Structure 1
Amino acid sequence: MAGARPGGQFRPLESGDPTAVAGYRLAARLGAGGMGTVYLSYTPGGHPIALKTIRPELSEDPEFRRRFQQEVKAAQRVQGLYTAPVIDYDTEGTQPWLAVAYVAGPSLASAVAEHGPLPVPSVLLLLAGMAEALSVIHGAGIVHRDLKPSNVLLASDGPRVIDFGIARAADATALTGTGVSIGTPAFMSPEQAAGKPVTPASDVFALGQVAAFAARGTGAYGDGPSHAVLYRIVHEEPDLTGLPEQLGFIARCLAKDPAGRPSPAEIISLCQGASPTPLRQSGSWLPEAIAAQITQRVSASAALAGAPTAAPAAPSPTAPVTQPDLTPPPAPIHAAPTAAATPVPPVPSFGPPVPPPQHQPRPQPTFQPSYGPPAPTAPRPPFVQQPAWRPHPLPPPKQNKAGKWIGITVGVVAGLFWLGSCASFIQGLDDSSDSSSSSGGSDGTGSSSAEPLPDPKPVTYQGVNIPDGYYVQFADSPPKPLNDDVDIYYSDLYYYDDALRSSDDKIVLLNNAQQGSLQTCREETRYAESVSLSQLSKGSQFCVHTGSGHIALVTFRGTAPQSDPSDYVSLDLTIWRNAEEPSSAG
């Protein structure tokens, strides 16, 4: 939620941003993400808060609202030193929102990107603080599910873990239809990536990934396309090259088996054992450059507390709001203090927020303190349910069947014309000449005796997960899900819109009485363009022929569970490469 620009400056409100939410005056933008936009605001007493408004399409989804209410109530029980407590919320209004304590510090992601990896003492304090936060979060019955560097803020007195549990509210709701996935692939656990149940041990795996990132600047499974990183997380061992010796215990956090990972309490003990001095959080636990950045953010926040509301600025086409730290800043709201400026104390005294104009009535916000049971909130207008907006990506363009057959027809006519013009020449050839261009040879009578190709050795790949809109090529070993808007039209097998398809339109669904084999796939010619999921059950098999001569027997193992926010099919592939002559259409 820390979206301040370098030097402690915040992003101004943009055109279309509200100037107030439930009586909270919005002073600046802190950032935007998959679930909504985060703003800087203040309590009636002048304390800064981060207020997140939920995206409209999510607000219209009844299932999201139900889960959002549950997760917010659970988050209220989390009152740890290394978390940002819930201050206020509204889960029933036209636009749901959530307010938490503002943390005047950069995220771990932006700090490492700007200043490089953290020193070992800072990493140990970071890990111990995050582990303590997970202990409190898990104690409240919450699994974070999306622990990553951008969800860890660096404050002057230790880290803060934010957005815990809120990602669960978006599972199986409209968010999955907007192209936004829950969980960040590079920091998912193997069981989360495979669609298995997620437990507190999944957060420990993510903590190990975050630790590797903090110490080296890169995760333990490299970079690249998300599907490639997920494959390495599930099937390969982590790469911890260059990790300081004191942090060697991080490898235990990255165990494939959840039962083999340490608990948060054990991680704290490991951090204490790896530190030559007792672990103590203080104002000097971070490098000087990051500490100075925190001081500047405190100064900027204090200045905005008493500043009048600025008119929303038009969005800049060169400065996307989702990446505030990667673009040159526009005219700052508040200039950063110079080296000669008087240092600002860590807890500044804020004035009350400036009231809006009189023609905009300002109700008193329902302030929830960070301690004790939440105060009762005033009744809010009833929520009027609207139809859920669930956009779907446009389907890939179908192959132009008409153009394909027109082209074949033209080719046949041209071939016949050529054959007719050369008839006299062909008749003059010796009848005993070999037709060397024939793939099956000659039997001496002029008739072709084509023999089938020898049976190639089959190769089997189990548990291949293909997400919606992805494809595989049978020539790859192992076949990995790919996502390319162009190559998908030339793919051997792809999953789209609740159906499995092949660009060569040669799929044969086998019945229960048929034994899946190379011979069966060669003999069956009941070709179809696709097989829908409604035609398949666990164990169903179908053959796929490709234009390049490969044959595959596909065994359907199922789809993603309802608890998984992604949409994929799980398949076993038995592939016979070069099992038949390539077709010209391929």
Structure 2
Amino acid sequence: MSSAPSGSLFKPLQEGDPAEVGGYRLTAVLGAGGMGKVFLSYTPGGRPIALKVIRPEFSEDPEFRRRFKQEVQAAQRVQGLYTAPVIDFDTDGARPWLATAYVPGPSLAHAVAQHGGLPVRSVLLLTVGVAEALSVIHGAGIVHRDLKPANVLLASDGPRVIDFGIARAADTTALTGTGVSVGTPAFMAPEQASAGTVTPATDVFALGQIAAFAAIGSPAYGEGSSHAVLYRIVHEDPDLSRLPSELLPLVTRCLSRDPAGRPSPTEIIQLCHELSPTALQQGEDWLPQTVADSITDRLRLPEPARTPRPMPSVAPTPTQVSPPVPPPGTVDPYAPTGLATPSAPGAPRPVPPPGHLNPPAPAHHTPTPGFPVNHTPPPVTHRPSDPEAHPRPRRTGLIVAASIVGTLVILGVIGSLLSNGDGKKENRGAGAHATSSGPTGGDGSAGAGQQKDPKPVSYQGIDLTDGYQLMLADNPPRPVESEDTAYGGGDLYFKVINFLDESSIGTDNGKLVLLNNAQKGSLETCRTETRYTEKIELDQLTQGSQICVLSDAGHVAVATYRGRSGESDPGAYVTLDLRIWRNAGEANGS
């Protein structure tokens, strides 16, 4: 085995990550974004690739799938020297995916965050490389739509543009109307931010912002909330006071508010050559040494799996995909209920061993959004095709009838004891939890002893900063600094582990449930869900994701994730909408 690579660059696969996609064995996690998770894998010949698996929230949208297929097919035509070519893809499977060549280099966003702005020569070489990439991308009939520092990788021989055209697949889908935005606000063009208009000139505006960002070390339109940045982009001029004078003519033309006033990619390349005092030629020295050194770390790749899982070349036979039938009278480990599988229809089922039907509860964890929850299906009832072929003894019918009568009598006694214990009948159904909001006021809407559910209270746009916490009982819930610096605290907290985006939303006073895309965030849903966890990684969330929060104090809330701070924001925070039902659950976590 080779020495382990830096854990900050190649993270191990997490619970819920697939081990294999499309015949490619996944080796490590490279990162995650708003549309999917990116893994390191290898071709059969041993070349590394970056394989992006689309999030379930998008996969379930048929319009997204249609657009994604179109964009991937168009992206195959892009074969420029400054782009990461498409290697393989599957747009029709359960989880669409796209594989591109692996680029061993940091993103521009990461390099600037680590080492600050680049020298003028590096910025000019960066700009001509991205401009050439845009020329090829636009020539294939694609508009990038989301050109930003995170989508420009710095390789040893020049920049590489990635994720071109994929943002269009998410545009105008059902998700965009529920909080999922397309494009990064700080690098949008005015027409894109105000009216959603996107043309090749939109990418040129983004390129101007990238050049300014690379030279200054921060966005040209400043930092802050998305709304504030977008307002400045549409109505104000950029702050170029710290931009080197050599770059001012280039950046000013690219950032023209009028799309018609922006240069084409070919004109940008020519302008860069005119502005440079020396010939612009990509080479090993195009980056500062500190940035170039970080490329070496990305060349120390983890080894691929030595025994890749064989892929069937023909359709498998039933014996290849079906478990063997156990001998008569034995327990079938594949049976969903844990009961023995009869050898013939109508055969009696042996009694399972003690405790088999009630195994120990598994450790709490939250499955990846969109994957089915592994609920146990109801027992399968085997019915003979001919009732006369398997007559049942009459004694069996009498025994069954007697058992039913006995069960009803026992249930009646238990119900009477519960009713007489304290004058109230306990009901733990999904819609009848006891609350502290008081009994009904004689309007006939609930029986005696039952209590109405409390009315929810909504709060919009709460910015929860790293290391701060919220308490659901507060009105309004205001973020306060956590006393526990290691784990956050409170009913809901946000914590960033390090600058590489290992961050999470968690609770120290209750339980969380990350709802699937098809679920509605409601009081009833939060009461009935049992996929509890205490921490949810931020890369599991997309804009619009909903989380049930069940506090130990008996409060229930639905937190809707609206996004996080940008890469250039001075602080790290997430934005949440909260809908709280106070005293709607059972206190003390019981």
Question: With structure 1 as the length reference, what TM-score do the two structures score?
Answer: 0.52
Q: Which one of the candidate residues 311, 317, 331 is aligned to 1:362?
A: 311
Aligned to 1:122: 122
Partners of 1:8 and 1:297 within 8 A in 2: no
Unmatched runs of 5 consecutive residues or more in structure 1: 309-353, 366-387, 390-401, 403-467, 472-484, 489-565, 567-586
Aligned to 1:267: 268
Question: What does residue range 143-222 of structure 1 map to in structure 2 within 5 Å?
Answer: 143-176=143-176, 179-222=179-222
Q: Distance in 1 between matches of 2:259 and 2:475?
A: 38
Unmatched runs of 5 consecutive residues or more in structure 2: 315-368, 371-436, 438-458, 463-473, 478-561, 563-590
- CA deviations over 1:143-177 (Å, ceiling 9, x no partner): 00000000000000000000000000001224325
Aligned to 1:49: 49
Q: Aligned pair in 2 of structure 1 residues 6, 182: CA closer, same or farther (>3 Å)?
A: farther
Question: What does residue range 4-19 of structure 1 map to in structure 2 within 5 Å?
Answer: 9-19=9-19
Residue 253 in 1 paired to residue 251 in 2? no
Note the C-alpha offset of 1:7.
Answer: 8.4
Q: Distance in 1 between matches of 2:196 and 2:108?
A: 28
Q: Distance in 2 between matches of 1:292 and 1:38?
A: 23
Aligned to 1:573: none
The residue type paired with residue 287 of structure 2 is: L
Q: Which one of the candidate residues 297, 303, 306 is aligned to 1:305?
A: 303
Aligned to 1:105: 105
Residue 294 in 1 paired to residue 243 in 2? no
Question: What does residue range 267-346 of structure 1 map to in structure 2 within 5 Å?
Answer: 267-298=268-299, 300-301=300-301, 304-306=302-304, 308=305
Note the C-alpha offset of 1:8.
Answer: 7.5
- CA deviations over 1:239-291 (Å, ceiling 9, x no partner): 10111111012111001000000111011011101111111001110011111
- CA deviations over 1:6-43 (Å, ceiling 9, x no partner): 68841111111111111101110000111110000010
Aligned to 1:66: 66
Q: Distance in 2 between matches of 1:236 and 1:94?
A: 45
3-state SS, counterpart of residue 176 of structure 1: helix
- CA deviations over 1:172-216 (Å, ceiling 9, x no partner): 224325633110000000000012421000100000111111000
Q: Distance in 2 between matches of 1:72 and 1:487?
A: 46
Root mean square deviation of aligned Cα: 2.9
Partners of 1:117 and 1:215 within 8 A in 2: yes
3-state SS, counterpart of residue 132 of structure 2: helix
The residue type paired with residue 305 of structure 1 is: E
Partners of 2:147 and 2:206 within 8 A in 1: yes
Q: Aligned pair in 2 of structure 1 residues 487, 219: CA closer, same or farther (>3 Å)?
A: farther
Partners of 2:9 and 2:30 within 8 A in 1: no
Q: Aligned pair in 2 of structure 1 residues 271, 486: CA closer, same or farther (>3 Å)?
A: farther
3-state SS, counterpart of residue 143 of structure 2: coil
- CA deviations over 1:413-450 (Å, ceiling 9, x no partner): xxxxxxxxxxxxxxxxxxxxxxxxxxxxxxxxxxxxxx
Q: Distance in 1 between matches of 2:228 and 2:270?
A: 34
3-state SS, counterpart of residue 214 of structure 2: helix
The residue type paired with residue 268 of structure 1 is: I
- CA deviations over 1:52-87 (Å, ceiling 9, x no partner): 001112111110100000000010010000000000
The residue type paired with residue 303 of structure 2 is: A
Note the C-alpha offset of 1:487.
Answer: 8.9
Q: Aligned pair in 2 of structure 1 residues 263, 242: CA closer, same or farther (>3 Å)?
A: same
- CA deviations over 1:77-100 (Å, ceiling 9, x no partner): 100000000000000111110000
Question: With structure 2 as the length reference, what TM-score do the two structures score?
Answer: 0.52
Q: Distance in 1 between matches of 2:476 and 2:207?
A: 36
Number of equivalences: 324
3-state SS, counterpart of residue 103 of structure 1: coil
3-state SS, counterpart of residue 305 of structure 1: coil
Q: Aligned pair in 2 of structure 1 residues 15, 130: CA closer, same or farther (>3 Å)?
A: same
Q: Aligned pair in 2 of structure 1 residues 225, 294: CA closer, same or farther (>3 Å)?
A: same
Q: Distance in 2 between matches of 1:223 and 1:5?
A: 34
Note the C-alpha offset of 1:364.
Answer: 7.7
The residue type paired with residue 71 of structure 1 is: E
Q: Aligned pair in 2 of structure 1 residues 364, 22: CA closer, same or farther (>3 Å)?
A: farther
